[in-house]
Amino acid sequence: MKKFFAILIVGLLASTAAWGATIGITVNAASKLDVSVDQSTWTIALDNSGTAIDVANQGAFTVKSSKSAYTVSFASGNNGTLINGSNSIPYKVKVDTASWSGVATNNLSSYTQLTAAKTIVFQSRTPTAGKTFAIGFNIEAYTDYYVDGAYTDTITISIASN
């Protein structure tokens, strides 16, 4: 009887192995690394009164990342000055990231002129909706009138993985 049960158990094990199957699963998650802005053009009135312009929420940008280490860079086409022919107006920007712990370093946490590219280093991936941050704009008080007309510059915001 013991031999019968032993043969039965060995037979069941052998038949299970013969009819068994396995599935290996691999899921490839797509890389996400994107930055966007809420407005592609800012139109700001300068009344030429000498009073500073300080708009804490002039615009916003949204970061979306599946990576945990990445850098967002801000660069000015005119080294942080608005240009009208040979006339210029220096300006500064800041980015408020204080509400999110996913930021390691913010070189734009206070108003800064973009005389060179300035960076924000992130250390956390974002939710799928992304993280949105306010961009502030500032022209300091001045004592001489600016020549009337339209002054322009372009800020380029780029993102790269670390």
* Model confidence pLDDT, tens digit, residues 15-53: 555 689 999 999 999 999 999 999 999 999 999 999 999
What is the model's pLDDT at position 94? Answer: 98
Strands ordered across the beta sheet of 92-96: 33-37, 53-65, 131-139, 92-96
Residue 35 CB neighbour total at 10 angstroms: 16
Give Cβ neighbours of residue 3 (< 8 Å, ≥ 6 apart).
none
What is the model's pLDDT at position 2? Answer: 58
Sequence-ordered strand ranges (E) for the chain: 33-37, 53-65, 70-76, 81-84, 87-90, 92-96, 103-106, 118-122, 131-139, 155-161
Delimit the domains of the chain by residue range.
33-40+50-161
CA pair distance 135, 6, nearest whole angstrom: 76
| Mean confidence (pLDDT) of the chain | 92
What is the model's pLDDT at position 19? Answer: 80
Q: Quick one: average pLDDT of 106-124?
A: 98
What is the model's pLDDT at position 18? Answer: 64
Residue 161 φ/ψ, nearest 5 degrees:
-75, 150
What is the number of residues in the chain? 162
CATH 2.60.40 fits 33-40+50-161, yes or no: yes
8-17, 36-45, 114-123, 129-138: least confidently modelled range: 8-17
pLDDT digits (tens, 9 = 90+) for 59-111: 999 999 999 999 999 999 999 999 999 999 999 999 999 999 999 999 999 99
User: Could you identify the residue written with the tokens 């022919």?
Assistant: 85
